[in-house]
Amino acid sequence: MKSFNEFRSFIAEQLKDELDGLEERRNKMFTWKAKLGAFLGVAVIIHWGVSLFTSLPTYTILITIAFGTAIAYFVFNKYFLDLAIPSNFKDLIVKSLVSFVDPSLQYNPTGYIPYEDYQASELFLLKPDHFTGDDLIEGSMDGIPIKFSELISSYEKQHLGVSKNKAWEMIFHGLFLVAEIPYDFKGKIFVLSSTIYKHLGYAGRLIQKHNFLRGNYILPKNLDFRDNFVVYAENLLEGELILTDDFMDKILKLKKITKAEVYISMIGNKVYVGVNLNREIFKISLNKPLTRVEYLKSFYNDLYYMLTVIEELNLEAFLENQEN
């Protein structure tokens, strides 16, 4: 994959005018925001001055502040707030980044992995009441068809008690990848984060070893991997073959780089990977300059993590072991 410095040079050479145009729109928006704030401040000062030399009650300044703020808010939102900037920025930068890295990849800012793929992965057993996403990228890496996007799944939780308030509980919020490999697994394989089991202590360890819903429990030889992940396989031999030293090291690296919980399942001829980032990807803030290097670096990293995940899984080595 091309380096970030190469992408940064590409942006400077090819997209500088478009990026500067977006930044100019952002600056114009905040210039008018400052002007409206100044007008409101002047109105309050004039009102205060009038109240000092007339019988106008001082507390009426609050009325000026309330009405002035409401008017300024209405004018700014109706005439100067440019909500298209974030989507224009993403469309410009992310689409260019995807094309720059691999012209065969396709980017759809409003598309996302369908619920059928999410459900087929069997990674998250809770059924979501809310399921959405965006930033779908599809294509082929080293001959393996892949697609991935940001996904958000959550369920509605009703609290017990008098109020019976409902709240949304997050199941997954991160990057979700589906890869189709030239091999049908004999049984299902799951590599799951062990975080939930750690919280349950001894009971968690018992559940971890006897989770019959997932298949046979496999004890990884890598102690660090064992401390971070739990592995199940319906076919023990197949599960042990996938747990090579290289595989475990690379999954640990993926977890470390992303600073997120990683979930993997292998079912049929599909590999599913969920990286639970708990944040929105390809996100910008209108309060900061769009030309900041940090934005470009963040976008590059988000894409890099998922484009290298198949390499991190080292499926080629696994397929060679199966053939032998």
Residues 25-81: tens digit of each pLDDT: 999 999 999 999 999 999 889 888 888 888 788 778 888 899 999 999 999 999 999
Mean pLDDT of 242-257: 85
More confident residue, 114 or 281: 114
Which amino acid is residue 316, in one-letter code? Answer: E
User: For residue 171, what pLDDT band results from cuts at 50, 70 and 90?
Assistant: very high
Residue-wise pLDDT for 264-279, tens only, equals: 999 999 999 999 998 8
* Percentage of the chain modeled with pLDDT above 70: 86
User: For residue 219, what pLDDT band results from cuts at 50, 70 and 90?
Assistant: confident
Instruction: Please tell me the predicted confidence (pLDDT) of residue 174.
Output: 93
Residue 144 pairs in a beta bridge with 141
Is the pLDDT reported for residue 97 higher than 90?
no
Note the Cα 65 to chain centre separation in Å: 40
Indicate the pTM of the whole model. Answer: 0.81
Tell me the three state secondary structure of residue 93: helix
More confident residue, 174 or 211: 174
Tell me the three state secondary structure of residue 301: helix
Instruction: Please tell me the predicted confidence (pLDDT) of residue 202.
Output: 44
User: For residue 322, what pLDDT band results from cuts at 50, 70 and 90?
Assistant: low
Distance CA(69)–CA(40), nearest Å, equals 7
Distance CA(112)–CA(134), nearest Å, equals 5
Mean pLDDT of 209-231: 81
The two structure tokens encoding residue 238? 């197949």
Residue-wise pLDDT for 176-200, tens only, equals: 999 998 888 999 999 998 765 554 4
Instruction: Please tell me the predicted confidence (pLDDT) of residue 283.
Output: 81
Instruction: Please tell me the predicted confidence (pLDDT) of residue 199.
Output: 46
Distance CA(318)–CA(258), nearest Å, equals 24
User: For residue 212, what pLDDT band results from cuts at 50, 70 and 90?
Assistant: low
Distance CA(258)–CA(262), nearest Å, equals 9
Kindly report the average pLDDT of the chain as a whole number: 84
Is the pLDDT reported for residue 305 higher than 80?
no
More confident residue, 306 or 146: 146
Q: With the C-alpha atoms ordered 183, 187, 188, 192, is the resulting torsion angle positive or negative? A: negative
Task: Count CB neighbours of 192 within 10 A.
Answer: 22
Mean pLDDT of 228-243: 89
Residue-wise pLDDT for 144-169, tens only, equals: 899 999 999 998 887 666 556 678 88
* Percentage of the chain modeled with pLDDT above 90: 34
Instruction: Please tell me the predicted confidence (pLDDT) of residue 268.
Output: 93
Instruction: Please tell me the predicted confidence (pLDDT) of residue 11.
Output: 84
